[in-house]
Structure 1
Amino acid sequence: MTEDQWENLCRRCGLCCFEKYIDGNRVIHTPIACRHLDIVTRECRVYDKRFSVGEGCVQLTPEVVGQVKWLPDDCAYWPHAKKRQAR
């Protein structure tokens, strides 16, 4: 899968752009969005430079998706990351 194909899996829910706390195995999502997230359109206002603006944005590669516990259960990346891990 190409990088563009991977990126296009995203449904743009924006949930990964909200603050969250991890308490043991429990993920607590907050209503506080990244300052660059347009909460109406769920689009990042600085998407092309999101990794350099210092907001702690994480690039969601298949490897990262397979390791993090804070993505929503219905994240479009999950099935594809699991397939890759099964190899």
Structure 2
Amino acid sequence: MERRSGIAMIEDGFWRRKRLDEMSTEEWESLCDGCGKCCLVKLEDEETGEVAYTDVACRLLDLGTCRCSAYADRQAHVPDCIALDPGAVDRLPWMPPSCAYRLLHEGRDLPAWHPLVSGDPSSVHRAGASARGRIVSERSVGESELEDHVVSWPSARMRTRRRRAVPC
């Protein structure tokens, strides 16, 4: 495993050669760019099933780093927290369009600001692709106030490249 600018590079470009279900646990975990968007409280319209993002983050999300403060045992603290795996990507249409798991599932490449591409864990924040600076903790928002916190920015699709099939 090589290191580049503080990020462990498991196998340079592994995400271009492997399907999600072929990745090791370390590779899988490294796909998370640390944007924090999946940790935002979402509201579902009971009639249409449409999902709306809020700018309210899970109480475990560190608002500065956009990382879970209790990742290893998060489900003990937040029982409905989703444990993401390759099979779940297809069943979670609310995943942000810029999410690496979703992008790769859709046959797209990672954006230039993704830490695996840039080699810099803070590139996601500098690119404006994270929730940092735009969110509040659910500890400070009552459930009756959630509708006042609906935002559209997490669902905006960032520009990403489509991958080309390369002949063997």
Q: Same fold (TM over 0.5)?
A: yes
Point out where structure 2 has 5 or more consecutive residues left out of the alignment.
Answer: 1-22, 108-168
Once superposed, what is the RMSD of the aligned Cα atoms? 1.5
In the alignment, structure 1 residue 20 sits paired with structure 2 residue 17: no
Aligned residue pairs: how many?
83
Point out where structure 1 has 5 or more consecutive residues left out of the alignment.
Answer: none
Sequence identity, in percent? 37
Q: Which structure has more RCO (C-alpha within 8 Å, separation ≥ 6)?
A: 2
CA–CA separation in structure 2 for the residues paired with 1:7 and 1:25: 29
- Give TM-score, length-normalised by structure 1: 0.83
Task: Say which one has the larger Rg.
Answer: 2
Greater strand proportion: 1
Which of 60, 63, 79 is equivalent to 2:103? 79
Amino acid at match of 1:11: D
- Any idea what SS the aligned residue of 1:13 has? coil
CA–CA separation in structure 1 for the residues paired with 2:91 and 2:70: 25
CA–CA separation in structure 1 for the residues paired with 2:77 and 2:25: 21
CA–CA separation in structure 2 for the residues paired with 1:26 and 1:76: 22
CA–CA separation in structure 2 for the residues paired with 1:44 and 1:54: 11
Q: After the TM superposition, which residues 1-87 of structure 1 pair with which residues of structure 2 at under 5 Å, given as runs?
A: 1-23=23-45, 24-82=48-106
Residue-by-residue CA offset, 1:57-82 (whole Å, 9 max, x unaligned): 10111111111111111110013334
CA–CA separation in structure 2 for the residues paired with 1:54 and 1:74: 24
Amino acid at match of 1:39: L
CA–CA separation in structure 2 for the residues paired with 1:65 and 1:74: 13
Residue-by-residue CA offset, 1:6-52 (whole Å, 9 max, x unaligned): 11101011111110012224220011111110111101110111122
